[in-house]
């Protein structure tokens, strides 16, 4: 039998699959730099100085180094760009016509395995045989996003009590006391504003956020989620097409069981189901989905030992990169279609302003771990509550899996929104999100709708320095059907690449828009008219 030579692209894909199967520790040369975790037998995690030193040890390699910005306490937030050929600007990356993948770790600085795994992965990929994954993607790695939180080291029993090592870890919040993974809409932290600037400049095709979860005891070394907002254009594709492949490869190539992120609804009655977290875009992966791109949430299992958590995170991230490299043409085409959907004047589906959790169509088997009572009140092992120990025995139960959200309030997109000339703070916030705002709006013919407030509810509990708002009201059209819209206002078109985000942020009844975070509080009087108006422009006699 005569063997046909492999095409170049097929050869790269075959090599990617072979490299992904190699055990992680076998890839690390004795002469390669070692992370703090590796050097200490996985007893310790890296401090900020360790991360900087590790990155410095890679400077003789064809990598690009930089900072996305500074933390609240003035620390640089380092990034590494890995690609063949080497690139250093967004323009150079886009010229390669390949997916840009942005991987972020340590947003919660007690969840430290992503930091260690990402450093090791950049080291290994930059020394791997070619052709390889870096010939098909551009990787932007941000290993220590919450650098200030990382430096607030304390015992893991204090900072991450449900976690099995390492001995000392940082804290969840940044130096301002903010949870950075609840800050993507209001963007109050300098870290968030820096990452938004990177998103705007590089427009990554894929965003990966590395975490660790605790909660229910189960068989899965790692759980994952796509963007959960029901209006995310590529959420269903990520959930139904990409994640099943990753789940299969994690088991076949690395012997890691993985599953959709969630917890048992009831530990006492497992058959009630398994539920994911939240669809709102205050969370990074949900936010990035509303920007019309692919995103993955990675959650290592905190009850597993530190070394295993690093290994599962490393493997999952590596498999994402390989899959993106294999599906590069399809991913770029889908992202382009999502952008065009935002720009289009017609044919865009309505945006989900509010949503509720929903179950997948079929029951799925999930393996729950039994905990054994120890007979005393002492902690038998890190990551297990007092008086119990892990048994290694599992019960598999078929149950509903609530892994998605369905809309409860849909809103058709207007042509755009008008903003009062005095509301420059709102304009600056929109621009932070990469949204184009036109100044000195010229007179045009159209229909103008104003929002009339019926009621507003203020959450009594302070959350992230805010009392969140829920607003109820209605859009009211002027008595006359058409008018000349006055000049001098700010205009925000919904027909732009992030048009979905425009509508979600500015609609008063959105469940996580600017109104939620108190941007309109001064206007919350019954019967008050908002400073933001909906506009239906008339184009050559056509709405």
Q: Cα–Cα distance between 524 and 520 in angstroms, integer?
A: 7
- 470: nearest Cα among 514, 515, 505, 405: 515
pTM: 0.93
Mean pLDDT by 10 residues, the chain (543 residues): 43 51 52 95 98 98 98 99 98 99 99 99 96 98 99 93 93 98 99 99 99 93 99 98 99 99 94 98 99 99 96 99 99 97 82 98 96 74 77 94 99 94 94 95 83 93 96 84 77 95 98 97 82 78 42
63 SS3 class: strand
Domains and CATH numbers, the chain: 8-355 (3.40.630.10), 413-537 (no CATH)
219 SS3 class: coil
Identify the pLDDT of residue 486.
Answer: 76
How many residues does the structure list for the chain? 543
Identify the pLDDT of residue 541.
Answer: 40
Strands 263-264 and 529-537: unpaired
pLDDT tens-digit map of 359-403 = 999 999 999 998 888 877 666 566 677 788 888 899 999 999 999
Contact of 230 with 404, CB cutoff 8 Å: yes
- 164: nearest Cα among 128, 213, 228, 119: 213
The set of residues, in sequence order, having a beta carbon less than 8 Å from that of 296 and lying 6+ positions away, is 206, 207, 208, 209, 224, 225, 226, 238, 242, 243, 285, 320
Q: Cα–Cα distance between 76 and 63 in angstroms, integer?
A: 18
Query: Residue 334 belongs to what H/E stretch?
Result: helix 328-343
Q: Cα–Cα distance between 142 and 383 in angstroms, integer?
A: 27
Identify the pLDDT of residue 379.
Answer: 60
| Cα distances (angstroms) measured from residue 79 to each of 46, 55, 310, 476 | 16, 9, 19, 48
Phi, psi dihedral angles at 524 (to 5 degrees): -90, 70
Q: Cα–Cα distance between 15 and 134 in angstroms, integer?
A: 12
Contact of 256 with 331, CB cutoff 8 Å: no
Identify the pLDDT of residue 6.
Answer: 42
């Amino acid at each position: 039998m005569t063997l046909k030579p492999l095409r170049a692209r097929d050869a790269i894909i075959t090599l990617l699959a072979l490299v992904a199967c190699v055990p992680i520790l076998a890839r690390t040369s004795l002469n390669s730099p070692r992370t703090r975790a590796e050097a200490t037998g996985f007893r310790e995690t890296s401090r900020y100085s360790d991360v900087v030193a590790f990155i410095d040890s890679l400077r003789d390699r064809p990598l690009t180094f930089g900072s996305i910005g500074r933390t609240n306490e003035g620390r640089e937030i380092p990034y590494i760009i890995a690609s063949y050929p080497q690139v250093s600007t967004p323009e150079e990356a886009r010229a390669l016509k390949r997916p840009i993948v942005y991987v972020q770790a340590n947003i919660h600085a007690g969840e430290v395995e992503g930091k260690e795994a990402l450093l090791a992965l950049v080291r290994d990929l930059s020394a791997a045989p070619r052709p390889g994954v870096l010939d098909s993607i551009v990787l932007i790695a941000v290993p220590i996003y919450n650098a200030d939180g990382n430096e607030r080291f304390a015992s893991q029993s204090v900072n991450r009590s449900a976690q099995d090592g390492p001995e000392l870890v940082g804290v969840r919040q940044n130096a301002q006391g903010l949870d950075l993974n609840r800050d993507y809409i209001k963007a109050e932290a300098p870290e968030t504003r820096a990452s938004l600037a990177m998103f705007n400049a590089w427009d990554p095709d894929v965003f990966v956020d590395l975490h660790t979860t605790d909660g229910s005891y189960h068989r899965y070394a790692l759980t994952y989620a796509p963007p959960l907002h029901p209006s995310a254009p590529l959420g269903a594709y990520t959930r139904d097409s990409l994640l099943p492949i990753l789940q299969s490869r994690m088991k076949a190539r690395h012997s890691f069981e993985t599953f959709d992120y969630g917890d048992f609804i009831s530990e006492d009655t497992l058959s009630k189901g398994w539920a994911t977290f939240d669809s709102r875009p205050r969370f990074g992966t949900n936010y990035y989905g509303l920007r019309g791109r692919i995103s993955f949430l990675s959650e290592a299992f905190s009850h597993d030992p530190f070394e295993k958590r690093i290994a599962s995170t490393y493997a999952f991230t590596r498999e994402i990169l390989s899959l993106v490299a294999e599906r590069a043409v399809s991913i770029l085409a889908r992202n382009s279609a999502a952008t065009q959907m935002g720009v289009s004047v017609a044919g865009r589906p309505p945006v989900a302003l509010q949503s509720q959790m929903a179950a997948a169509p079929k029951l799925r088997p999930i393996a729950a771990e039994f905990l054994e009572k120890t007979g005393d009140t002492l902690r038998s092992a890190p990551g297990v509550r007092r008086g119990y120990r892990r048994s290694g025995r599992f019960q598999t139960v078929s149950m509903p899996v609530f892994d998605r959200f369905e809309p409860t309030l849909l809103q058709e997109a207007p042509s755009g929104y008008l903003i009062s000339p005095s509301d420059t703070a709102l304009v600056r916030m929109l621009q932070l999100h990469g949204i184009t705002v036109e100044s000195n709006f010229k007179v045009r013919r159209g229909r103008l709708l104003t929002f009339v407030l019926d009621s507003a509810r203020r959450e009594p509990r302070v959350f992230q320095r805010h009392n969140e708002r829920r607003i109820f009201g209605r859009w009211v059209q002027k008595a006359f059907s058409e008018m000349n819209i006055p000049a001098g206002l700010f205009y925000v078109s919904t027909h732009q690449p992030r048009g979905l985000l425009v509508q979600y942020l500015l609609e008063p009844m959105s469940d996580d828009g600017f109104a939620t975070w108190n941007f309109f509080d001064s206007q919350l009087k019954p019967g008050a008219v908002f400073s933001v108006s909906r506009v239906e422009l008339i184009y050559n006699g056509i709405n």
